[in-house]
Each structure stands twice: as structure tokens, then as C-alpha cells.
Structure 1
Amino acid sequence: MRKKEILWLYVFLFAALADISMIINSETSYRYFTKPLIMIALLMYFLQSTRLIKDSLLRTAVSAALFCSFLGDVLLLNNNLFLFGLGAFFITHVGYTIAFKLTQNHSFNLLEVNFIKMFIYNLPLYIVAALIYFLIHSQLNELKIPVIIYIMAIVMMVTMARERYGRTNKTSFWQLFIGAILFFTSDSLLALDRFFYPIVDGDLLIMATYILGQLLIVMGIRSHLLQVKSSQ
């Protein structure tokens, strides 16, 4: 890694630990500084480490996902802006879904897709997503349709992460897949904490899974690019 790349990882680590510390100590006002810095640092790390694919669709998709994550983090600090934050993270999941498809070594052929097998593999995810919606739907009111669309987007993101199995190196697959699962877990905890029943240390669990999930997704994409570079 270059020095600039490592520097931004240190900033990311510092911001993440600082934000978690603010949560533990209930210093909400300081989170307006610590929370946005997390995704800014991760975005800068990604941009620094992917200069060789400048102007590519992959770099644009991931950069857009990270930037919208930054926007979503800022918006969700204000409960009155929840819907806008939801919209920002919706774009994040769309960007990641595109990126996950681009970081596969095999071309896609719709005629060769085994939809029954795909459905069975993804069934546990569908069940969990449906259960979470069942638990929270009565409290959503006017947010029902936006939340349904959002759930579909994040389920698609995790599905695409799983579809990379055997289509990239093992390190890239597991980093990215675990990252996507953690992102899904973070959003699930947020939904349950906000619309079903308050979770003990909910904010801490939500941010911990979110931060680690985002980092693993970026590192998984980086691992794929390193493999492609080494094979050239």
C-alpha cells in the first residue's frame, strides 16, 4: 500500500473509534463530526487505491455508493430526515449491486441461469427480510412503500454478493460477502430498533456492523482488482 492509502485507513480507523466512543458516552452532538468522517475517509482510501481504473464504471459505482453512504449518515443524524437518508442508502445499494456484478470473472448469460437453484440459495435471506418487514410494518405508516423498495434493494445487493462465489478469488468473495451481510445486519437492527422495539446498545451494534461491513466491501473489491492486475 502507498503511504496516502494507509493514511486514509488510519483516518477511517480513528473516525470509527471516535464515533463509537461518542455513542458509548452519549455525546450525540459530537457525532456530527465523527460519523461523516468515517465514509469520507473510506471514500478517499478507495479513490487513492483505484487510480489505475480512473473513469471506469466500477470506480464510479463504488464512489457513488460511498458518497451516498456519507450523505445517508449525515441525514440519519436528524430523525426528521429519515426518508432522505433512506433514499441516499438506496442509491448506495444500487451502486454496490452494479459494482458486485462488475467484479466477477464470468460473463452473464440469462439463458444459463438456474432460477430455481438461485431461489433456494437465497431463500434464507428472503425469509429474514420478510420477517423483519412483518415485525416493523405496522409502525411504518407512510413509509411502507419506501421501506419495501429499500428492502428489495438491499436484498438484491446481498444476492449479488453471493452470486460472486466461484467468480472471483476466495479472499475477495468472502470479504465482500461478509461485508454485505454485515451491512444488511446493520440495516435490520436499525429497522427493528426504530420501528419494532428498542435494542439494548442498539446504536453501538448498528454502527459496529455498518463500519465493518463497509470496510470489508471496499477491501473485497480491492482484492478482486489486485487479482486482475496480477494476472495481466
Structure 2
Amino acid sequence: MRDNNIVWLYLYLLACFVDLYFIIDNLESYRIYSKPLIMISLGVYFWQISKNIAGTLIRKVMLGAIVFSWLGDVLLIFPALFLYGLGAFLVAHLCYIISFKISQQKPFEIGNVNFIKLFLYNLPIYILAAYVYFLIQFNLGSLKIPVITYMLVIVAMVTISRERFNKTSPSSFWQVFLGALFFLVSDGILAINMFYQSFPESGVLVMGTYTMAQLLIIMGIRAHYLR
């Protein structure tokens, strides 16, 4: 079964490389064929390997995150639909937040929380997000509220992924945490390119970090429920 399922990972990697090739060669019109295949192939892979947890909340929210990520990918192909793409990815991040929260030991146990230590652990994430916002804030215009909302949600996603430390297996923690960080970096590069200063390498950097983020998150969640 695993040998059959890994074909979808190969298809995922192929779609990623083809999409990057189209970006590098300025063949943007062809990305309508390559970009949607990225999350379709990864989604089928997750669907196949997660059949043993069918009906569980974790599977539902992960599939929701994949579907809305796919929708966001498609919408962002068209510049006029940027706000709708942003909304789709916001929902995807909310699904990931739920999945990160429940894919850990005793997820809703409060215990003794040291808020100062928690703040210091998350401080590098806050600084990175604040720096990106500092750069782009003057050019957001009517998108200011949607972008701020989106940034708050993705920061929450990264901090909750960090919260899983010592509450799951090391491989699951690091894959999910690094995946969430790559997502933050990808969106930060996209925001800087759109609202601060465009640069030719942005497309490759955005998609390279984005595809790495999605793969790491999927494999990290897989590592948790296959423990």
C-alpha cells in the first residue's frame, strides 16, 4: 500500500518542479495547469494514508486545510481574485490551527502556564511578523484589515505548532513546526513583493517555501497519528 501511495508524492514533487520551471521561464499562463496539481496530488496522498483514521476530526480538518489551500492556489493565479485567495488560505490556516492543537498529548490541559516564558519562546515569530508588517503597512490601502487579520492567524498557526514541543514525537514536532515557519516565510516574501518592493526571485522563493511547508506539515501530522 505504501509503495502505491508514494506515487502521489512523486506527482506532488513533479508538479512543484514544473510550476517552478514555469515561473523561472516567465510562462505564467501555463501555471493554470501546474499549480492546481500541487495540492491535488498531496491531498490524494493524505487521503490514502489516513484511511485508518477515517471519520476523525483530525482527518476532516486536515482535508479541509488541503482543499482550501488548493482553492487559494487557484484563486491567486488571477491577480483580481487576490482577496478571495487570501480568504481561502485564512480558512486553511484555521484548519491547520485545529489540527496542530488536537495532534498532541493532552491538547486541552491548561496546567501551569508561564506567560513570560511563553512570550519569549514566541518572540522571534512575533518579531518576524512585525518586521514584515512594518515594511508593507504604508502600501496596504483598503487591504489593511484583511492583511492584518491574515497575519494574526498565520502567527497563531506557527505559535501553536511550537506549542507541540514534547507533546508529540520529535519527528512530528519538527516537521510541523518547520512547515509552519516555511509558511510564514513564504507569505512574508509574497507580502514584501506585493506591497513593499518587487524582485524577480520572489516567485521561486514563494512557491519553493510554500511547497516545502505543505509537505512538511502533511508528513508531520502523518508521523503523529502513525506513532
Q: Same fold (TM over 0.5)?
A: yes
Q: How does 1:152-163 map to 2 (within 5 A)?
A: 152-163=152-163
Counterpart of 2:135 in structure 1 is 135
1:46-91 deviation line (CA, Å, top 9, x unaligned)? 0100001111110011101111010001111111111000000000
Q: After the TM superposition, which parts of structure 1 deviate over 4 Å for at least 4 consecutive aligned residues?
A: none
Cα distance, 1:114 vs structure 2: 2.0
Cα distance, 1:225 vs structure 2: 1.1
More off after superposition, 183-192 vs 130-139: 130-139
Structure 1, gaps ≥5 residues long: 228-232
Counterpart of 1:230 in structure 2 is none
Cα distance, 1:11 vs structure 2: 1.1
The separation in 1 between residues aligned to 2:99 and 2:15, in whole angstroms, is 25
Q: TM-score, normalised by structure 2?
A: 0.97
The alignment partner of 2:226 has SS state of helix
More off after superposition, 153-162 vs 112-121: 112-121
Percent identity of paired positions between Structure 1 and Structure 2: 49
Q: How does 1:34-45 map to 2 (within 5 A)?
A: 34-45=34-45
Counterpart of 2:118 in structure 1 is 118
* Counterpart amino acid of residue 174 in structure 1: W
Counterpart of 2:79 in structure 1 is 79
The alignment partner of 2:84 has SS state of helix
Assess if the C-alpha contact under 8 Å between 1:97 and 1:157 holds in 2: yes
Cα distance, 1:115 vs structure 2: 1.8
1:127-171 deviation line (CA, Å, top 9, x unaligned)? 111111111011111100011110010000000110000001111
The alignment partner of 1:189 has SS state of helix
Assess if the C-alpha contact under 8 Å between 2:101 and 2:107 holds in 1: no
Q: TM-score, normalised by structure 1?
A: 0.95
Counterpart of 2:217 in structure 1 is 217
Assess if the C-alpha contact under 8 Å between 1:4 and 1:48 holds in 2: no
Give the number of equivalent residue pairs: 227
Q: How does 1:79-118 map to 2 (within 5 A)?
A: 79-118=79-118
Counterpart of 2:70 in structure 1 is 70
Counterpart of 1:20 in structure 2 is 20
Cα distance, 1:7 vs structure 2: 1.6
The separation in 2 between residues aligned to 1:18 and 1:200, in whole angstroms, is 18
Counterpart of 1:168 in structure 2 is 168
Q: Does 1:32 align with 2:48?
A: no
Assess if the C-alpha contact under 8 Å between 1:161 and 1:180 holds in 2: yes
Assess if the C-alpha contact under 8 Å between 1:72 and 1:85 holds in 2: yes
1:188-231 deviation line (CA, Å, top 9, x unaligned)? 0000000000123110000000001100000000011111xxxx
Cα distance, 1:111 vs structure 2: 4.9
* Counterpart amino acid of residue 143 in structure 1: L
The separation in 1 between residues aligned to 2:212 and 2:5, in whole angstroms, is 18
Cα gap change, 1:62 to 1:85, in 2 (>3 Å): same
Q: Does 1:193 align with 2:183?
A: no
Cα distance, 1:25 vs structure 2: 0.9
Assess if the C-alpha contact under 8 Å between 1:185 and 1:209 holds in 2: yes
The separation in 2 between residues aligned to 1:48 and 1:217, in whole angstroms, is 16
Q: Does 1:60 align with 2:60?
A: yes
The separation in 1 between residues aligned to 2:95 and 2:81, in whole angstroms, is 21
